[in-house]
């Protein structure tokens, strides 16, 4: 899992309830089980880890340790179900192209499961999106 030794902030808590994660670009729906979270890059329960585990390739050059902005996504529904971005995430988002109000680094965004979530992969990542459900 992606842990940055230079960040003192506590990791966001993993989701407490099951929820559905929809990828707007493909319509793929991922059932998120808080008792069976993938052991992937990023924070435990992060959108990056969930997307990678579902076979959706998302660039993440730094390995999910909030040291780049390549895993930038848009959280189009359920944005407020994740804790606010820490300063280091905000700093990295400043380098992301096409920044919007619903932008997050997928390695750091951990929804709590209180509502279903929908994400959109930015245009430059769309060629990486698997069209096949896994």
On whether residue 2 sits in a domain, the answer given is no
Looking at the structure of the chain, the number of domains it has is 1
**Per-residue model confidence as pLDDT tens digits over 118-132:** 999 997 665 444 444
Own/partner contacts of 83-86, CB < 8 Å, gap of 24 or more, are: 83/12, 83/13, 83/110, 83/112, 85/109, 86/7, 86/9
**Per-residue model confidence as pLDDT tens digits over 8-54:** 778 899 999 999 999 999 999 999 999 999 988 899 999 999 999 99
Domain range spanning residue 45?
19-126
CATH code for the domain of 44: 3.10.20.30
In terms of pTM, does the model score above 0.95?
no
On whether residue 27 sits in a domain, the answer given is yes
């Amino acid at each position: 899992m992606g842990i940055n030794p230079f960040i003192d902030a506590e990791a966001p808590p993993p989701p407490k309830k099951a929820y559905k994660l929809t990828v707007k670009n493909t319509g793929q729906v991922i059932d998120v089980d808080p008792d069976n979270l993938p052991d992937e890059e990023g924070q435990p329960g992060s959108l990056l880890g969930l997307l990678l585990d579902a076979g959706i390739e998302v660039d993440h050059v730094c390995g999910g340790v909030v040291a780049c902005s390549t895993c930038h996504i848009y959280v189009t529904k359920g944005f407020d179900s994740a804790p606010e971005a820490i300063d280091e995430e905000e700093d990295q988002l400043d380098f992301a192209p096409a920044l919007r109000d619903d932008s997050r680094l997928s390695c750091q965004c951990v929804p709590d499961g209180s509502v279903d979530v929908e994400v959109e992969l930015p245009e430059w990542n769309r060629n990486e999106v698997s069209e096949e459900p896994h």
